[in-house]
Amino acid sequence: MTSPALADRLRLSADLRMVRPAVVYAAMFGAVGTFYPYASVLFESRGIDLAMIGLLLALQGVASLVAAPAWGAFADRVGRIHIVLFASTLVGALGAGLLAFATDPVTIAFSLATMAIGTGGMIPLADTRAVEIAGERRERFARARAWGSAAFIAGSIIAGWLMSGRSPDWLFVLYVPLLVATGVASWRLLARDPRGASTARSRRRVRAGPPLGGITALLSIPGLLLLLVGVTAIWTAIGAVMAFISIHVANLGADLATIGLMWGVGAAVEIPIMLAFPTLARRAGSERLLLLGAVAFALRAAGWGLATEPLAALLIAPLGGVGFALFYVGIVSFVANAVPPEAQATAQGLYTGLTFSLGSVVGSVVAGLAAPVIGLSCLFLASGAATVAATLVVARAVSVVRRPAAGRPPATA
């Protein structure tokens, strides 16, 4: 067999391996799409006022930001990511089941926190295992993750249709089963290939010591602490924008259909970019792509701040899909290459779980305090400027991070 033919065969085999995590991503983000776009509507239908809704959403974010690195550290300790992911989905499904029947604020808060503790670990754990399955070309996991974006769109549309003319409680008819399906798919599809199990175990050592001890060791790697700060700052700036963009566009005269379309357009743009990400990364490098994604976020924030009519805001929205696809996938890929095998799940919990959750909470709170003083347009412009500053921090961090994975043998599926 000629060398080019062998290379093509190996690439095809690698792409076929990504079908397994693609199924898990589809179930997971299908669930996300059925719940998160409608969470505030659900709480309002149960008589919760706006102030309490804000507190509930903040509670959810806090629970997630604590849970993400904790689940990751536990997975690195036991060395069985698919089992830990299965457990996290069951905890999330339990909380969602309780939330379906909760009516008073205290019970709702307890149920929501339980759900967030479970779901907070799902995405970083799935990313970690998908990156392992992708092997030497870590960026290939994006082709599986793209199906999650497609499922998010489908889940939100189907849930909206199901709830039309009914109570928002109907979303649980989809949400809870999809969480369980995510767990079952993780258990069945993300387990290691028995034919390569011994080799995989030798390459991915189980970390001993305190459950969260790996976090300190990770942050001692030159550049990774600065990267954590920069990534968190970017997600915080984004969180400030996303908390109020729907209200801003409504104030410009948009109807609900336009607002929904604006959210959907961004998710739709993610799909082709994620599918193409491995090719783009081979040519430009994941470091450059994640920085380009951050710049796209800054341009979107500034554009929305300057927009004076709904059509302009709608035309700017695709920048969000560009930003998320490049920045999110870029960070996952870069971190996977920068940390040792035995700390992969902990690292993804920190850099994609904790930072996103912390940024969402802080961004929402800061935006809520600043918006009445400076106005939404100025808030978005300030967010764009903050994103640019944080991008410079991330650029500095990625330039000094040592990448021990460069000479490391590829992970085994």
294 contacts 387 by C-beta, under 8 angstroms:
yes
pTM check: above 0.85: no
Q: What's the half-sphere exposure (Cβ side, CA atoms, 13 Å) at 9?
A: 6
Average pLDDT, the chain: 82
pLDDT in tens, 31-86: 998 887 777 778 878 887 766 776 787 788 888 878 888 888 888 888 888 999 99
137 pLDDT more than 90 = no
> Band of the pLDDT at 260, cuts 50, 70, 90?
low
Please tell me the distance from the alpha carbon of residue 387 to that of residue 237, in angstroms, as a whole number: 6
- Between these two residues, 128 and 250, which has the higher pLDDT value? 128
The average pLDDT across 187-199 equals 64
The average pLDDT across 203-207 equals 46
CA distances from residue 296 to 288, 318, 319, 324, 387 in whole angstroms, order as listed: 12, 9, 6, 9, 10
Of 376, 352, 358, residue with least CA distance to 58: 358
Other residues' Cβ atoms within 10 Å of the Cβ of residue 277: 24
Of 382, 396, 383, residue with least CA distance to 291: 396
Query: DSSP secondary-structure letter at 36?
Result: G
Q: What is the pLDDT of residue 408?
A: 42
409 pLDDT more than 50 = no
412 pLDDT more than 70 = no
The average pLDDT across 233-247 equals 86
Q: What is the pLDDT of residue 204?
A: 46
11 pLDDT more than 70 = no
Of 215, 231, 190, residue with least CA distance to 334: 231
